[in-house]
Amino acid sequence: MGFYTTSIKWVTGAVFTALLVACGGDSSSTMGSVSEEGMFGDSQSAMTEPMDDVYLPTIRVSGSYWIELSPVVVAAQSFYPVAISVGEGGITRITSGEADIATNAETQLLRESLVNPDLRIIATVTESFYRLVGKRSSGIGSLADLAGKRVMVPYNTSANYYLVAMLAEVGLTEEDITLVPFPRLEAGVKASMDYMSQAMLAGEADVIAIWEPEPASAIEELGDDAIVLQDRSVYREVFNLHARASDLADPDKRRAIVTFLRALIEATEALRQNPGPYWPQIAEVISYSEEEIAGGWPEMEFPVQIVPDMLDVLETEEAWVAKEKDRMPRSRDELARFIDYSPLVEAMSGS
């Protein structure tokens, strides 16, 4: 395992306080003990001094190449002490030994943790607010009008969960609609997603359920025929960064992971302040155009801190995931072990 020496630059206490405010509250109300509800100590002692030179082991970063990955890309290439590439793929790459830290939606953690119970959520990179996009010409004017309609969605994904949750708001289930299979084009998943808008234009589907940027593209392509069905209170994707518990218990590997979290915090603040200059860098990695990134950007929020209701989200969605495999849902206590607040606390404290 290779090592290198570097000096880590850090944000001032003022910037850190601003970051906490941007995360959803003032600095005093955000402080508290290490728990689901709050993760931070006294903001006055946070990261005001640069760290001395430290040895960091090589770290391998991976993620699903969606817009949600943006803070990780910028952290890896612009704020980590040595620029590192971001491999393509989610938490299965941690399980396979190809990555040390990786991103995925919360639904995928619930699946992969059955195979690899060593997985831990260590930060929330992005909250992504999904949209159903349909055609008014198909007789859709409200969510209730989805009854009997053809909905294209990738099965067993966060988009599928969003569809189910939205249907439930008006007393519908998947049995009340016709599910149209997600196209599997030889060109890959992104090409298949791009086809979803074309499927509606071609009369193959009435509605699509998918993450950005395809909803934005569909709205543009359908024009006045587009209808957007969205309720941010029903569901949002919680796109987390994960690590192995065994790596977090290793002092050298933990040091590198915590250092990456510091870079992630800086990158997130930079993206909040002025994201445009970073879009070319992001576009090069995730293979979406700057225009597509800009179109989906308003549906993203970048908290860094693990969302306060993370365990509630896991508990609710575990019932849906368990039903897929006809197994018993895991208990709240069992799910709680997949969340580790301590690395982010350490990153924010500068210790």
* Domain range list for the chain: 3-128+236-349, 133-229
Q: In this predicted structure, what is the pLDDT of residue 219?
A: 96
Query: C-alpha angle 38/25/103, rounded to 5°?
Result: 60
> Cα dihedral angle (15, 17, 22, 25), rounded to 10 degrees?
-170
Give bridge partners of residue 180 from the DSSP assignment.
152
Task: Say which CATH architecture domain 3-128+236-349 belongs to.
Answer: 3-Layer(aba) Sandwich (3.40)
Amino acid 306: pLDDT? 98
Domain 133-229 in the same topology as domain 3-128+236-349: yes
The tens-digit pLDDT sequence of the chain (351 residues) is 333 333 333 333 333 333 333 333 333 333 333 333 333 333 222 332 334 566 789 999 999 999 999 999 999 999 999 999 999 999 999 999 999 999 999 999 999 999 999 999 999 999 999 999 999 999 999 999 999 999 999 988 999 999 999 999 999 999 999 999 888 777 677 778 888 999 999 999 999 999 999 999 999 999 999 999 999 999 999 999 999 999 999 999 999 999 999 999 999 999 999 999 999 999 999 999 999 999 999 999 999 999 999 999 999 999 999 998 899 999 999 999 999 999 999 999 975
- What number does CATH give the domain 133-229? 3.40.190.10
Q: What is the pTM of this model?
A: 0.82
Number of helical (H) and strand (E) elements in the chain, helices listed first: 15, 13
Buried b (16+ CB within 10 A) or exposed e, 275-293: beebbeebbebbebeeebb
